[in-house]
Amino acid sequence: MTLNPLIFAPSIRNIERVMDSWNDLPCDIFVARYMKEPKAYQTGRDYFLEHKQYSHIVICPDDMVVDYDSFMAIYRAVDEYDFSNLAGVANLDETNFDVYACKPLEYDPESKTAGSYYTSDTLPEDEIIEVGFTGFTCQFIERDLVELLSFTGGCNKGRGCMDLQFTRELQSLNIPQLLHTGTFFPHLRNTQQDEVQLFKNSEHDPSKESTYLIKNI
């Protein structure tokens, strides 16, 4: 199947730098707005599976700038080597851009202790590596694998940590979780946190939920 990815962006924030980064990408973008995480991910999964023209879903959080060159590096690697999954590198948050959201194989994916994340000093030089956690950084997933995954949460009784559940399910399927080290996607995790906390702490209003498709091809 010809490579034709669909970016999926579950979205609460309205970060201009992030949304501007979508404009030049050579693929369509499906946005799920103001949905609780479980519903947003199920909605994205269902849309992708129903629209069979797309070969891969690409999970891009609403606080991550989709760097064009890094996106294309993953795109080309997936196209050339037919990886079932491949993600990129992002900083954990804005407090230190040299600490990354991905983790080595030997660490518990649930660990948040210092040293459990890759850094600019510890990230291997090999371009494609197997890791223990990617953090859904421009996460490419092929169609056949999407069909095997639940797209549910790994914490808070299934209501959060979708990236953690992805890691667990790949482990149960004995499928390596792969990372492209020659990429970098700025992660603006602390940006518009007030809006995120307000959304999480307020009574949910389903009437504000929406989806839309940005056609880039």
Over residues 103-112, the pLDDT tens digits come to: 999 988 988 8
Domain count, the chain: 1
Over residues 23-46, the pLDDT tens digits come to: 999 999 999 999 999 999 999 999
Inter-residue contact 101 to 214 (CB < 8 Å): no
Q: Amino acid identity of 112?
A: K
Question: What's the pTM?
Answer: 0.96
48-57, 168-177, 194-203, 204-213: which range is least confident on average?
A: 194-203
- Whether residue 182 has pLDDT greater than 80: yes
Inter-residue contact 81 to 202 (CB < 8 Å): no
What is d(CA 181, CA 73) in angstroms, rounded to the nearest whole number?
A: 10
What is d(CA 57, CA 31) in angstroms, rounded to the nearest whole number?
A: 12
What is d(CA 213, CA 8) in angstroms, rounded to the nearest whole number?
A: 10
What is d(CA 126, CA 104) in angstroms, rounded to the nearest whole number?
A: 13
What is d(CA 73, CA 83) in angstroms, rounded to the nearest whole number?
A: 13
Over residues 121-164, the pLDDT tens digits come to: 999 999 999 999 999 999 999 999 999 999 998 888 777 899 99
Q: What is the mean pLDDT of residues 182-189?
A: 97
What is d(CA 29, CA 153) in angstroms, rounded to the nearest whole number?
A: 22
Over residues 51-103, the pLDDT tens digits come to: 999 999 999 999 999 999 999 999 999 999 999 999 999 999 999 999 999 99
DSSP 8-state secondary structure symbol assigned to residue 3: -
- Whether residue 167 has pLDDT greater than 90: yes
Q: What CATH code is carried by the domain that includes residue 81?
A: 3.90.550.40
Inter-residue contact 170 to 177 (CB < 8 Å): yes
DSSP 8-state secondary structure symbol assigned to residue 211: E
115: domain range? 5-214
Q: What pLDDT, on a 0 to 100 scale, did the predictor assign at position 75?
A: 98
What is d(CA 94, CA 19) in angstroms, rounded to the nearest whole number?
A: 18
> Phi and psi dihedrals of 166, rounded to 5?
-60, -45
Of the CA atoms within 13 Å of residue 28, those in its CB half-sphere come to 18
Q: What pLDDT, on a 0 to 100 scale, did the predictor assign at position 157?
A: 78
